[in-house]
């Protein structure tokens, strides 16, 4: 008995069904706002898939090999079925290629089944649990129908093969249109082609938020259709692997945020469904099945609670871990912008801080003339128009904090010992606007940024140096969109440079004790600077004990994104968890490179490691010189 004609019919029925499903999803995506995309991105998909996407997937080798076998085998088999049966060629040679693809796919599916026998809690269950069986049915159906010669294929076996093919084909094609697990297969590839941040594929660390056009009444995301259409497409690419959930500091602390659930809720929003079928970890403290969305309805609170959005520290750990390269933080800040700009709905002490920024250009409501009081006795020169300098010190908002002033004083001492040509910005310096922007107050951010840009335009300098990674990120990456383009360096990178060229003669410290380094999110994940701080510590003679979560996987201190101001309660405190990481390796000193990290880690109660900025460690070595 020959099943070739049946496979041909099934193939073309599947193609039509798939086309209808993709059209249905595309109509949902296209309900979003316009987005400028390069259609040439379609030709870049293979490279972005095999290089950029698999660079993330390969961090977990078992899953990488499983994915290669399952997806690779399926693509090979289906491609040859399209040629051999879709075109009615019926070549036995091509049949053996199909057999090879199906066999490789079946091996990959076996690995999927093994993983789901005792899965990690981060994986979604429900419909995802049937994938090993439906995909295995598809592979087995192909093997039986194609490998067995027609003369040896009984009616019963042929019927079984067709039945398996029907089950597998239904999983593959119906999932596209009805939001089942396999929708990520097509949405994921299209997401790679039309990614909201295509520069990520050119080796650029793209982390800057895009400015709102406030004069065009652009106030953030209120309803799902306020997202750009390629953002809606990106949400459909989610494979619910939970890697974002696993690294989210707010979720670990028991705050009502789970990045995976957030993305799935947004899918429900533009699809007009509820979260009742979601089968993964919920937001801590919020029950599943109580929220529903619609494309043009407000997201908060019908679909997502406001406290979920305000729990985010914007640390980008979720984005760094996502194998589908989804931009969770962009989505969260987009929704925060709407809550802030249209409703003024910001919790905690954030409204007071934002009011201070609008009225005094400082978060604490201080007089700008007092920003550099800590440097009065240091004879630090102040930048003046018409007086060229090499380095301009931008202190940041931490300059009003007595603890952070120790770091700034240490930095100035280092610059003076190195005979660096520098000056401080002085009373004309304003808050960089970072906190306002992360809290969704785009208007205040743009106002502060434009004032700072006007001030900087009057001065003649080569580089800006700052000890605050949040200032670094704003000036280096976000001011350019408003016309301010500068070379900005972090103080650890500058100190490392000074050490490298012999401008600083240091005594190696013998009494630092067991030391570790905590990577600030806005220096590491946002700006890719992991090596300079460690290089400085090595030059000091320190042996750095790395925490399990360090480098691009470092745990957030909890100080970013305005989180200390919104102060959403959880079961644990994020800095307490980070200090537990430090205790776990027996470190007596934790070197830091950010005022937010210093404040959060020093706020941990009980016995803890000493918290010292790298500039303090270097300055101490300068003071010990004979």
Nearest to 403 by CA among 615, 586, 116: 615
Which CATH number fits the domain that encloses residue 415?
3.40.50
Phi, psi of 437 (to 5 degrees): -65, -45
Sequence length of the chain is 626
Residues 6 or more apart in contact with residue 344 via CB below 8 angstroms: 351
Mean pLDDT of 50-55: 93
Contact criterion met (CB below 8 Å) for 321 and 56: yes
Give domain status of residue 348, yes or no: no
Local structure of 422: helix, strand or coil:
strand
Domain boundary among 174, 193, 212: 193
Per-residue confidence (pLDDT) for residue 123, from 0 to 100: 97
pLDDT for 540-592, tens place per residue? 999 999 999 999 999 999 999 999 999 999 999 999 999 999 999 999 999 99
* 186 lies in the same domain as 86: yes
Domain boundary among 173, 193, 213: 193
Local structure of 243: helix, strand or coil:
helix
Per-residue confidence (pLDDT) for residue 626, from 0 to 100: 45
Phi, psi of 496 (to 5 degrees): -60, -40
Percentage of the chain exceeding pLDDT 70: 98
Nearest to 320 by CA among 52, 45, 112: 52
Residues 6 or more apart in contact with residue 343 via CB below 8 angstroms: none
Token representation of residue 85:
């049966």
pLDDT for 145-192, tens place per residue? 998 887 788 888 999 999 999 999 999 999 888 888 999 999 999 999
Token representation of residue 566:
């919104």
Q: Is the peptide bond before 64 cis (omega within 30 degrees of 0)?
A: no
Count how many Cα atoms sit within 13 Å of the Cα of residue 462 in the half-sphere of its side chain.
Answer: 7
Residues 6 or more apart in contact with residue 558 via CB below 8 angstroms: 249, 253, 313, 564, 573, 574, 575, 578, 600
Which CATH number fits the domain that encloses residue 237?
1.10.1060
Contact criterion met (CB below 8 Å) for 293 and 273: yes
DSSP string covering 488-549, please? EEEHHHHHHHHHHTT----PPPS---SEEEPPPTTTTTTT---HHHHHHHHHTT--B---SS
Give domain status of residue 135, yes or no: yes
Contact criterion met (CB below 8 Å) for 494 and 524: no
pLDDT for 330-343, tens place per residue? 999 999 999 999 99
Local structure of 208: helix, strand or coil:
coil
Tell me the residue range of the domain where 551 lies: 515-623
Q: Taking 60 as the threshold, does the pLDDT of residue 621 lie above it?
A: yes
Per-residue confidence (pLDDT) for residue 179, from 0 to 100: 80
* 34 lies in the same domain as 179: yes
Mean pLDDT of 7-18: 96
The continuous run of DSSP H or E covering 285 comes out as none
Q: Taking 80 as the threshold, does the pLDDT of residue 624 lie above it?
A: no
* 260 lies in the same domain as 189: no
Domain boundary among 300, 317, 343: 343
Q: Taking 90 as the threshold, does the pLDDT of residue 462 lie above it?
A: yes
Nearest to 158 by CA among 5, 20, 367, 340: 5
pLDDT for 406-435, tens place per residue? 999 999 999 999 999 999 999 999 999 999
| CA separation for the pair 29, 31 (Å, rounded) | 5
Contact criterion met (CB below 8 Å) for 467 and 396: yes
Mean pLDDT of 528-534: 98
Residues 6 or more apart in contact with residue 36 via CB below 8 angstroms: none
* 205 lies in the same domain as 271: yes
Per-residue confidence (pLDDT) for residue 508, from 0 to 100: 63
* 338 lies in the same domain as 399: no
* 570 lies in the same domain as 607: yes
Give domain status of residue 353, yes or no: no
* 528 lies in the same domain as 491: no
| CA separation for the pair 409, 413 (Å, rounded) | 6
* 444 lies in the same domain as 404: yes
Contact criterion met (CB below 8 Å) for 485 and 529: no
* 178 lies in the same domain as 246: no
Give domain status of residue 351, yes or no: no
pLDDT for 299-353, tens place per residue? 999 999 999 999 999 999 999 999 999 999 999 999 999 999 999 999 999 999 9
Per-residue confidence (pLDDT) for residue 48, from 0 to 100: 96
pLDDT for 361-376, tens place per residue? 999 999 999 999 999 9
Contact criterion met (CB below 8 Å) for 491 and 465: yes
* 252 lies in the same domain as 368: no
How far is residue 285 from each of residues 254, 256, 258, 313, measured CA to CA in Å?
A: 8, 6, 11, 18
Contact criterion met (CB below 8 Å) for 412 and 392: no
Number of domains forming the structure of the chain: 4
Give domain status of residue 429, yes or no: yes
Give domain status of residue 349, yes or no: no
Per-residue confidence (pLDDT) for residue 155, from 0 to 100: 87
Taken in order 449, 455, 458, 463, the sign of the CA dihedral is: negative
Mean pLDDT of 435-461: 98
Contact criterion met (CB below 8 Å) for 572 and 253: yes
Percentage of the chain exceeding pLDDT 90: 94
Contact criterion met (CB below 8 Å) for 319 and 523: no
| CA separation for the pair 191, 90 (Å, rounded) | 35
Per-residue confidence (pLDDT) for residue 506, from 0 to 100: 81
**Long-range contact set of residues 357-361: C-beta below 8 Å, sequence gap at least 24:** 357/431, 357/433, 357/435, 357/436, 357/441, 357/444, 357/448, 358/444, 358/447, 361/430, 361/431, 361/448, 361/451
Give domain status of residue 242, yes or no: yes
Give domain status of residue 350, yes or no: no
The torsion of the CA quartet 31, 35, 39, 42, rounded to 10 degrees, works out to -70
* 171 lies in the same domain as 74: yes
How far is residue 22 from each of residues 177, 187, 229, 515, measured CA to CA in Å?
A: 6, 9, 14, 54
| CA separation for the pair 393, 535 (Å, rounded) | 22
Q: Taking 50 as the threshold, does the pLDDT of residue 400 lie above it?
A: yes
Banded model confidence at residue 511, pLDDT cuts 50, 70, 90: low
Mean pLDDT of 26-37: 96
Token representation of residue 70:
């399952």
Mean pLDDT over all residues of the chain? 95
Mean pLDDT of 432-441: 98
* 37 lies in the same domain as 173: yes
């Amino acid at each position: 008995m020959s099943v070739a004609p049946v496979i041909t019919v099934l193939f073309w029925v599947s193609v039509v069904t798939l086309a209808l499903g993709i059209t249905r999803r595309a109509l949902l995506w296209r309900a979003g706002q316009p987005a400028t995309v390069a259609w040439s991105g379609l030709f870049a998909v293979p490279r972005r898939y095999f290089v950029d996407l698999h660079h993330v997937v390969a961090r977990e080798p078992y899953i990488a090999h499983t994915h290669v076998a399952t997806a690779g085998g399926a693509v090979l088999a289906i491609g040859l079925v399209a040629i051999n049966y879709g075109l009615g060629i019926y070549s036995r040679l091509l049949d053996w290629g199909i057999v090879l693809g199906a066999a490789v796919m079946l091996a990959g599916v076996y690995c999927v089944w093994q993983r789901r026998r005792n899965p990690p809690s981060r994986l979604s269950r429900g419909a995802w649990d049937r994938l090993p069986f439906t995909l295995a049915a598809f592979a087995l159906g192909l093997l039986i129908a194609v490998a067995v010669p027609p003369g040896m294929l009984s009616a019963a076996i042929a019927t079984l093969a067709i039945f398996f093919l029907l089950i597998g084909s239904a999983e593959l094609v119906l999932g596209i249109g009805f939001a089942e697990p396999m929708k990520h297969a097509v949405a994921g590839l299209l997401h790679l082609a039309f990614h909201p941040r295509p520069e990520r594929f050119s080796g650029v660390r793209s982390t800057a938020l895009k400015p709102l056009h406030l004069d065009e009444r652009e106030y953030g995301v209120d309803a799902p259709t306020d997202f750009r259409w390629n953002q809606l497409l990106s949400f459909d690419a989610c494979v619910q692997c939970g890697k974002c959930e696993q690294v989210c500091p707010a979720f670990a602390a028991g705050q009502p945020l789970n990045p995976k659930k957030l993305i799935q809720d947004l899918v429900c929003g533009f699809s007009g469904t509820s979260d009742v079928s979601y089968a993964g970890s919920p937001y801590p403290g919020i029950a599943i099945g109580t929220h529903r969305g619609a494309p043009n309805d407000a997201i908060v609170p019908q679909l997502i609670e406001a406290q979920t959005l305000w729990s985010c520290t914007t640390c980008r750990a979720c984005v760094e871990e996502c194998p589908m390269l989804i931009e969770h933080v962009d989505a969260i800040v987009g929704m925060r912008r709407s809550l802030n700009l249209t409703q003024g709905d910001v919790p905690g002490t954030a409204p007071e801080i934002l009011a201070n920024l609008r009225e005094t250009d400082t978060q604490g409501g201080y007089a700008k003339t007092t920003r550099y009081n800590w440097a009065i006795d240091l004879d630090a020169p102040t930048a003046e128009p018409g007086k060229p300098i090499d380095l301009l010190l931008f202190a940041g908002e931490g300059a009003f904090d007595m603890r952070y002033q120790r770091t700034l004083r240490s930095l100035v001492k280092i610059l003076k010992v190195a005979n660096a040509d520098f000056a401080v910005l002085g009373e004309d310096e304003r808050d960089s606007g970072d906190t306002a922007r992360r809290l969704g107050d785009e208007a205040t951010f743009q106002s502060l940024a434009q004032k700072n840009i006007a001030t900087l335009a009057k001065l003649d300098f080569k580089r800006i140096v700052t000890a605050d990674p949040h200032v670094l990120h704003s000036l280096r990456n976000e001011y350019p969109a408003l016309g301010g383009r500068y070379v900005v360096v972090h103080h650890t990178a500058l100190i490392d440079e000074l050490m490298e060229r012999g401008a600083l003669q240091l005594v190696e410290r013998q009494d630092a004790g067991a030391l570790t380094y905590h990577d600030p999110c806005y220096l590491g994940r946002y700006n890719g600077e992991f090596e300079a701080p460690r290089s400085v510590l090595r030059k000091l003679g320190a042996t750095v004990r790395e925490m399990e979560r360090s480098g691009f996987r470092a745990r957030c201190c909890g100080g970013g994104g305005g989180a200390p101001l919104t102060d959403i309660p959880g079961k644990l405190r994020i800095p307490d968890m980070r200090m537990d990481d430090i205790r776990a390796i027996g470190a007596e000193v934790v070197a830091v490179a950010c005022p937010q990290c210093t404040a959060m880690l020093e706020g941990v109660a009980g016995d803890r490691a000493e918290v010292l900025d790298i500039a303090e460690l270097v300055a101490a070595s300068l003071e010990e010189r004979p």
